[in-house]
Amino acid sequence: MTPRTSQYLHAQHMPVAPRAAATVLLLRDGAAGLEVLMTRRSQQASFVPGAFVFPGGAIDAQDAQAHALAARRPTQADAQLTDAIAAIRESFEELGVLLARHGDGRWATQHDIAQIDRHAPLAAQCQARGLTLAADGVFTLARWITDRDLPRRFDVPFLVARMPPGQTPVADEAEQFEPLWIRPQDALQRHAGGDFFIIFPTIRTLEYLQRHASVDAVLAACAGEAPLWTSCPRAGLLAGREVRYMESDPPYGELALVSPDGQLVHPLDWQSDRPVELRRNLQRLTAPNPGVMTGPGTNSYLVGDPATGYIAIDPGPADMEHLQRLWRAAGGDIRTIVCTHSHPDHSPGAAPLQQLCVQAGRAAPPILGLPSLPTARAHSQFTPDRAVADGELLTLTGQGLGGSVTHTLQVVYTPGHAANHLCLLLQEDGLLFSGDHILNGSTTVIDPPDGNMADYLDSLDRLDALCQQWGVEFILPAHGHVLGDARGAIAHLKAHRLAREAKVIAAMQKRPDGTLEQWVELAYDDVPPRLWPVAQRSLIAHVERIRMLEPGND
């Protein structure tokens, strides 16, 4: 469904259309490991002046017309060939490096380079000297699209190629200066020290390169032709400073929710002293209970507006200062309180929040949810004023300045993390409140007997179907930032759970008479040992599901 733009916090602007360009990372094996050729942009450049970059620039019509003058791989698409030709041309114009071969396979030499004019069309000059552009040795590493908030934008494949032997880079001293060979980790260290200015895509690309020991390793990783990643970063504010994130970074989804057009307006600092506006009809207030199990704290959400009143989701622990802030953020007009489940960081605040409303002379908002089952631990007992039904609609309506407005939350029963767990779908805006079923930056604990891994995975499937039905793009978890790409996040989470289960099976097979502690050590070897006691709870849930699926146990 199309989200209501009337609920956006900021007027939207059309980002500048990106221009096609290409960049090439020239690589070599140095004495201390992999090195990449970088150069400093002119201080007068219109785009990132003074930054250290990889050679590259805009793609022009001549690049697409030079296909017949370039060698190509059988799997290299026409668009990739154009990108490679543009990158070859730019590396020659800017640094005098020529990725071209003679008919007998010899690489272009410094003598060849000296005979070619950097300011004249390259492909025709190469053809006249019997040289073929070595586009078959240029591979796609990644694709970067300049951030939406910037006034100049580019759509840039980052390509990789081995530095031709016997050539020496010489900067054009107009656009580029100071060519240097540098190990990725050294470039990052110098940047951290403040004497090597590089921009976000360069940083992330160098972070990837430093994982590889040789040119061969990088080229092998790129053999599949498709970019290893494609990213259009988003910017936010952290401690008052500009920060940027890729799609895989936890804050990315929240930035997309609050500012779809990419404006740099949203603070990402975790704080509990005031609510954070996410949409006009949506506020988040994080309880001051950070920890290993709660991350930055429990997220309490307010859905609604002054015309409709508010529904409070997960009031959190019985922290009166937090509850008073939540009550004030709603202008005292809380119509309903909903708890996603009974755990002590979610439901104990419901009753005192209800009393705050009563003490202010308002009707007591009903506390809704599902009662805890006998399987719940002693500190997770919860009895709502009324048990909600799966599929039930909780509706707020009112008359605003623009006319009638409605906010509808659909109850979705999702056992797994807890037997009485539920999620909520804000239908008009396609937003899913996931409680602890889906978190940002970690996986939730499944703790039998109240937690059940089979139920958990089934509930993930149900949420995926719901997201498809309603066009849900964003998930609002009880811990962590908003997640974007809702269905992708669910698919990733399920794949992670099944991969972990495969490791549990392998551990059980390796040590059939092993203890839980021994199985955890094998199946969670990628998790810090200090977290193994917590991981053991989910391991038990996996073991129960594995044994349930064994033949004869259906």
pLDDT digits (tens, 9 = 90+) for 401-421: 778 999 999 999 999 999 999
Domain assignment present for 65: yes
- What pLDDT, on the 0 to 100 scale, is given for residue 276? 97
Q: Do 86 and 121 have their domain in common?
A: yes
Domain assignment present for 33: yes
Whether 551 shows a pLDDT value over 80: the answer reads no
Q: Do 227 and 284 have their domain in common?
A: no
Residue 37, domain CATH: 3.90.79.10
Q: Do 521 and 474 have their domain in common?
A: no
Give the whole-angstrom CA distance, residue 294 versus residue 287. 10
Domain assignment present for 504: yes
Give the whole-angstrom CA distance, residue 537 versus residue 27. 47
Q: Do 36 and 140 have their domain in common?
A: yes
- What pLDDT, on the 0 to 100 scale, is given for residue 554? 56
Q: How far is CA 310 from CA 4, 15, 254, 350, in A?
A: 18, 34, 21, 14
Mean of pLDDT values over 189-202: 94
Domain assignment present for 29: yes
Q: What is the pLDDT of residues 261-275, one digit of tens each?
A: 999 999 999 989 999
Domain that holds residue 378: 280-485
Residue reference for tokens 């940047």: 191
Q: Do 221 and 307 have their domain in common?
A: no
User: Residue 164: which pLDDT band, with cuts at 50, 70 and 90?
Assistant: very high
Q: Do 91 and 30 have their domain in common?
A: yes
Q: What is the pLDDT of residues 461-502, one digit of tens each?
A: 999 999 999 999 999 999 999 999 999 999 999 999 999 999
Share of the chain above pLDDT 70, in %: 99
Whether 46 shows a pLDDT value over 90: the answer reads no
Instruction: Give the long-range contacts of residues 455-458, CB within 8 A, separation 24 or more.
Output: 455/415, 455/416, 455/419, 456/415, 456/416, 456/417, 456/497, 456/541, 457/416, 457/494, 457/497, 457/498, 457/545, 458/416
In contact, 30 and 166? CB cutoff 8 Å: no
* Tokens (6 digits) for 14: 């059309």
The residues facing 304 across adjacent strands are: 310
- What pLDDT, on the 0 to 100 scale, is given for residue 553? 64
- What pLDDT, on the 0 to 100 scale, is given for residue 1? 66
Q: Do 420 and 521 have their domain in common?
A: no
Q: What is the pLDDT of residues 208-237, one digit of tens each?
A: 999 999 999 999 999 999 999 999 999 999
pTM of the model: 0.92
Q: Which of 47-56, 142-151, 306-315 has the lowest mean pLDDT?
A: 47-56
Mean of pLDDT values over 299-311: 97
Q: Do 506 and 468 have their domain in common?
A: no
Of 433, 457, 485, which residue sits at a domain end? 485
When divided into structural domains, the chain yields a total of 3
Q: Do 481 and 503 have their domain in common?
A: no
Domain assignment present for 287: yes
Give the whole-angstrom CA distance, residue 231 versus residue 138. 20
In contact, 454 and 548? CB cutoff 8 Å: yes
Average pLDDT over the chain reads 94
Mean of pLDDT values over 81-92: 95
